Chains A and B, each alone.
Chain A
Amino acid sequence: MERLTPPPVRRIAVDRHPRVVAPTSPADGAGNGAGGVTSGAGGSQILARRRAARPAATYPPEERMQIESVSLAYGERWVVRDVSLPVRRGEVLALIGASGSGKTTLLRSLNRLTEITAGAGRAGQITLDGEEIHEIEVNALRRRVTMVFQQPNPFPMSIFENVAYALREAPGRRRRARRATLEPAVREALRRAGLHEEVADDLDRPALSLSGGQQQRLCIARALAADPEVLLLDEPCSALDPISTAVIEDLIVELRESVAIVIVTHNLQQAQRVADHVAFMHLGELIEYGTAEQVFDQPRQQRTRDYIGGAFG
């Protein structure tokens, strides 16, 4: 029987609470093949503890977006074929799969960011609260479905201005809002992104003077400022160190109660740590979708087993 098997050790699993950075022992990764030594040792214990330590979602999950038979193409090339998935508030949906499997494209199509690329096309339906997203004005959609990217990309302005930018310039608003009126909302967004304590005294610092992890949390704050319904995260931790990653992962787990979260990740352990549901994609197709426990502990498909076992990808 296939048990939970972490991929060969290339990454460092982190347990924040004892504040120790513990590399998973090589024996773990080899555990797959070496009969007697099964999972349950080192790395997966940490994972299990982290999963157990997650706060349980208080709400019953509520469906916000529905992806129905969606295929996506750039020009003549199909990059996503016939994918159907629900996106719910109250849970984190992780898209996993090898590079080139179409995860990021699928993610970007959820707020129509694919349209920036010339020649991008879509078949199938994506709905937000029952409304086809093609019918929603694109900028209104992107305010409801915001995105955080792989590389932290704060604007070259102050911390305050970065977050305030998301609040200002809304259509139909004649005058630029004054700083005093925006400040509570800005601070609230920073608080939700877990950055407020660190920057509270000096919101006028240039955002680019923050550390990478802080910058990424600033980007999350910016994405949260306009109070979106869905938050898209495109490998938000791949450019960060393990400690910053742990901070952001905790944040993601916390945020899922108020906003539906879709995260693309290459890091299977991360998916295990944060996701409630996991979708495994391969070469543009959705191979398997299920709860994180099911996909990681009892994958139904051979390809999923291979990927999770580290056979490819």
Chain B
Amino acid sequence: MATAEPTLTPPRAAIARPRRESTASWPLVDRLAYWLCWAVGIGLCVIAVGIVLFMFIKGISALRPSLFVESPATGALQERHSGGFKDPLIGTFILTAIGIAIALPLGVGIAVWMVEYARPRWLMRTVESAIEMIAGVPSIVLALFGLLLFARPLFSFLSGSANNGAVTGQSFLIAGIMMGVLAIPLVVGATREALLQLPARLREASYALGKTRATTVRRVLLPSIRPGIASGAVLGMGRIIGDTAILVILLPYLKLEGAGGAPLLSALRGTGTTLTYYIYYYAPTGDGNSPKKAFAAGFVLLMIVLALNALVTRLTLRSSGERAAARNIVQRVWAWEMWPWSR
């Protein structure tokens, strides 16, 4: 039973509040810049809240449960006959899964090599530039490259064939591969950043016990940078979910369509699309012209991305310290992406 416990609240009046720093003595330029920073910061918050609110209101009002279970009806002239977005929703998950399944192991591997091995030096520099180059290539160019590369008989196992037997070069697998390429720089960036932040004494401790580099990486370094890898995965998945250009070329089909064969493989080799392309198609300027559908889908997309971020941080990061580390890395990679010249 909770009896009268002594309260630990300190007497309010006893705490003297120190006077705040005054800007009165600042030069005018500093004061202006200071207030400008405040204004810009608040402005950004307003914009962010505005986007979410706008999508919320527009999206919720257009959202119907039926949208989740109906396939899109192509060729419908009126909005109410254009169906739901079940197929693109499934497509989003399939594509993200393929993309991150490719980008995560490759990206982590590249980052580990770049930080822990990095020999010979010239190869390291080449890899570094290659990663930067991929990060800078517009995704539509990646898509074009993917189409040219994979629409060959050699790669017929990746996609279906047209009636005349030509390889289409359009499938979840191919789009997923290109999405993976798109996400690799983000995974590499986050993993690398995390590895570089590890103290040297962690590695020394392991080497001093007679452990090989590989053992050290597998048993000490990778477990230690779980927050970094998790943030890399989140960033990568966000990029994949959000990209549209690759879909315009490699996966512009509103309905899922298998390519024949074993069920799962058929779906992977088959075509479809994701929510972004669906939005693009149904936007007021798009061919579908069903803005309500676009808003509903946009809202769902936003929710997926937000949920994904929350989920991954919750699942993979046990302590609040790890979560803070992950956020820190996300910020660093964003900075790294946005201002390449600052390095």
Contacts and interface: CB of A to CB of B under 8 A. Distances in A.
A153 B224 CA distance: 13
Contacts of B205: 149, 153-155, 219, 222
Contact of A165 (B203, B209, B212): B209
B interface SS class = helix
A146 B212 contact: no
A147 B206 CA distance: 10
Q: Chain A, interface size: which category?
A: 20 to 34
Contacts of A171: 212
A146 B219 contact: no
A151 B201 contact: yes
Nearest to B200: A116
B210 A146 contact: yes
A219 B208 CA distance: 11
A226 B208 CA distance: 12
A113 B223 CA distance: 23
Interface string B83-94: 000000000000
Contacts of B215: 169
B219 A165 contact: yes
A156 interface: yes
Report, as a range, how many residues of chain B touch the other chain. 10 to 19
Contacts of B201: 149, 151, 153
Given A169-B211, A169-B215, A226-B209, A153 B220 contact: no
Interface string A88-122: 00000000000000000000000101001000000
Contacts of B202: 153, 155
Interface string B46-83: 00000000000000000000000000000000000000
A270 B333 CA distance: 47
Contact of B208 (A147, A156, A169): A147
A193 B180 CA distance: 49
B207 interface: yes
Contacts of B224: 155-156
Interface string B188-230: 0000000000010111111111111001000110011000000
A142 B208 contact: yes
A166 interface: yes
Contact of A223 (B207, B208, B219, B220): B208
A157 interface: yes
A153 B210 contact: no
Contact of B210 (A116, A142, A155, A157): A142
A235 B119 CA distance: 32
A251 interface: no
A146 B209 contact: yes
A139 interface: yes
A156 B223 contact: yes
Given A153-B202, A155-B202, A156-B224, A111 B211 contact: no
Contacts of B206: 155, 165
Closest 9 CB pairs of A and B: A143-B210, A142-B210, A147-B208, A153-B201, A153-B205, A139-B210, A169-B215, A166-B209, A156-B224
27 contacts: A113-B204, A116-B203, A139-B210, A139-B212, A140-B210, A141-B210, A142-B207, A142-B208, A142-B209, A142-B210, A142-B211, A144-B210, A146-B208, A149-B201, A153-B204, A153-B205, A154-B205, A155-B224, A156-B223, A156-B224, A165-B206, A165-B209, A165-B211, A165-B219, A166-B209, A169-B215, A223-B208
Interface of B: 199, 201-212, 215, 219-220, 223-224
Interface of A: 111, 113, 116, 139-144, 146-147, 149, 151, 153-157, 165-166, 168-169, 171, 219, 222-223, 226
